[in-house]
């Protein structure tokens, strides 16, 4: 029996009478990775803000599992560059003790940066810090708005590896927004194509063939996402470089969407 964490029923959010999110039905269960894609202005951020309870609904309803703990990773975090702030101090703002903060940082691979200034972090390290901040809440549902924003391609692959690993380790549900279509197709279980309403949804290997997907993203994008299935036997390190090799001892060159050891996933054709 699936452990449903959140269910949306005909959710609508309108501003000045104009729907930004229009009659959306969606369900996320423990163990799911659901990715919302769509053009700019499609209502993606508004949708996940509604899921977290930050945004009020105009109509429809959202059911959340009683006592549901949600960890939210925002798209941007604006900090004054002159503000002296270490990773330790930033994590302490969650109100959790240092051991719990260190444990969360360890899960994202950056515990060694505990005393570092946040202004000296790379884009990938900053994203891992924001994820660690969300993990301190021990979330059953992890919500991420563009988690790979401002991170280079290898770093993006590494972050998506991390998100899959956290899903497996924590047995949580994940819902995220992304523009990185090739990486999304490899790193998610279900894709939701949003353009105010849900245009189409389904498994990554099917979604690029859907006429509604082609209408939103164009034929060229759809063709570039021609999906094939294959095996990998490696994962990525903190910098996105491949570690490990396949059964024949052949190393793989790092590329977007590579998967973790022994897993069988869908990947964008190169």
| Beta carbons of 140 and 30 less than 8 angstroms apart | yes
pLDDT grade for 40, boundaries at 50, 70 and 90: confident
For residue 172, pLDDT over 70 is answered with yes
In sign, the C-alpha dihedral spanning 184, 222, 150, 261 is positive
Task: Say whether both 62 and 191 belong to one domain.
Answer: yes
**Count of structural domains within the chain:** 2
Tens-place pLDDT, residues 45-75: 999 999 999 999 999 999 999 999 999 998 7
Query: Which tops the pLDDT comparison, 265 or 206?
Result: 206
Q: What are phi and psi of 48, to 5 degrees?
A: -75, -25
Task: Say whether both 149 and 30 belong to one domain.
Answer: yes
Task: Say whether both 134 and 191 belong to one domain.
Answer: no
Cα 142 to the chain's mean position, in Å?
8
Q: What is the pTM of this model?
A: 0.78
Residue 174 belongs to domain with CATH number? 3.40.50.300
């Amino acid at each position: 029996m699936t452990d449903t964490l959140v269910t949306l029923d005909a959710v609508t959010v309108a501003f000045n009478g104009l729907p930004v999110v229009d009659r959306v039905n969606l369900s996320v269960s423990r163990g799911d990775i659901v990715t919302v894609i769509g053009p700019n202005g499609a209502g993606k951020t508004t949708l996940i803000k509604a899921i977290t309870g930050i945004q009020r609904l105009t109509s429809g309803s959202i059911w959340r599992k009683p006592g549901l703990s949600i960890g939210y990773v925002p798209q941007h975090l604006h900090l004054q560059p002159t503000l002296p702030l270490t990773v330790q101090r930033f994590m302490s703002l969650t109100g959790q003790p240092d051991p719990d903060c260190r444990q969360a940082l360890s899960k994202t691979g950056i515990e060694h940066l505990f005393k570092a200034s946040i202004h000296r972090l790379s884009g990938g390290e900053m994203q891992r810090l924001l994820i660690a901040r969300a993990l301190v809440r021990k979330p059953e549902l992890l919500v991420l708005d563009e988690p790979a924003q401002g991170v280079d391609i290898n770093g993006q692959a590494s972050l998506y590896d991390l998100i899959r690993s956290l899903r497996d380790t924590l047995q949580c549900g994940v819902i995220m927004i992304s523009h990185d279509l090739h990486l999304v197709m490899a790193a998610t279980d279900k894709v939701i194509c949003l353009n105010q309403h849900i245009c189409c949804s389904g498994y990554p290997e099917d979604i690029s063939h859907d006429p509604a997907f082609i209408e939103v993203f164009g034929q060229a994008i759809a063709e570039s996402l021609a999906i094939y299935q294959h095996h990998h036997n490696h994962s990525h390190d903190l910098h996105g470089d491949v570690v490990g090799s396949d059964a024949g001892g052949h190393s793989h060159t790092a590329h977007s969407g590579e998967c973790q050891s022994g897993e069988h996933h869908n990947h964008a054709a190169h």
